[in-house]
Amino acid sequence: MKKVYLAGPEVFLPDARRCFERHKELCRQHGFEPLSPLDNAGSTPGESGIALARSIFAGNVRMIDRCDIVAANCNPFRGACVDDGTAWEIAYAYARGKRIYGYCARLDALPRIVQSRIATSSHESGHPIDSDGYLVNEDFGNTLNLMLEFSIEASGGKLIEGDFEQCLAAIKASKSL
């Protein structure tokens, strides 16, 4: 049974445990063994602060090392782009030779996502400028930062337009598993 690591900002939801239980059940229904960051055995009871953060990091790394596939929530989080932790998990999984599937509710071009969330003005070049003063000019047609999107593609996975369950269905339908 293939192991799927569940990457995404759902860990920050008020009902995170319930969300991950649903995702884990969906994994089992599709014939996968789920590895959830909330089941991270890396932390010791009573840990807090930096010690707890280190344990969570180490436990998540171990789970990614054990998995066959990463299913990553690539929807914008706290801004226009993918959650930082999820981005790191995608990059780490790519470096470790794991298959990666990402999912977004919509596969809009990245500049459109940035413009709709944080662009504030225009530059003489015609490109929008974000609220930090950076040009929004990376219009190649990709939805995610190109380093993330093409890590997913190069891993043999795919960026799916849809939700977690549609991502699992795409993984299951893959001919190369």
Residue 162, domain extent: 3-107+143-173
What is the gyration radius of the CA atoms in the chain, in angstroms? Answer: 17
Q: Which of the two residues, 122 and 102, has the higher pLDDT score?
A: 102
Mean pLDDT, the chain, as a whole number? Answer: 89
- pLDDT at position 101 is 98
- pLDDT, tens digit, for every residue of 40-73? 865 667 888 888 888 899 999 999 999 999 999 9
Counting residues of the chain whose pLDDT is more than 70, the rounded percentage is 94
- pLDDT, tens digit, for every residue of 10-41? 999 989 999 999 999 999 999 999 999 999 86
Q: Are residues 148 and 62 in the same domain?
A: yes
Sign for the pseudo-dihedral over CA of 120, 122, 128, 133: negative
Q: Are residues 128 and 84 in the same domain?
A: no
Residues 6+ apart with CB under 8 A from 157: 69, 70, 99, 100, 101, 102, 171
- pLDDT at position 159 is 95
Q: How many whole angstroms separate alpha carbon 128 and alpha carbon 139?
A: 11
Structural domain count of the chain: 2
- pTM assigned to the model: 0.87
Q: Which of the two residues, 92 and 122, has the higher pLDDT score?
A: 92
Q: How many whole angstroms separate alpha carbon 159 and alpha carbon 142?
A: 10
- pLDDT at position 42 is 57
Q: Are residues 167 and 125 in the same domain?
A: no
Q: Are residues 162 and 115 in the same domain?
A: no
Q: Are residues 16 and 59 in the same domain?
A: yes
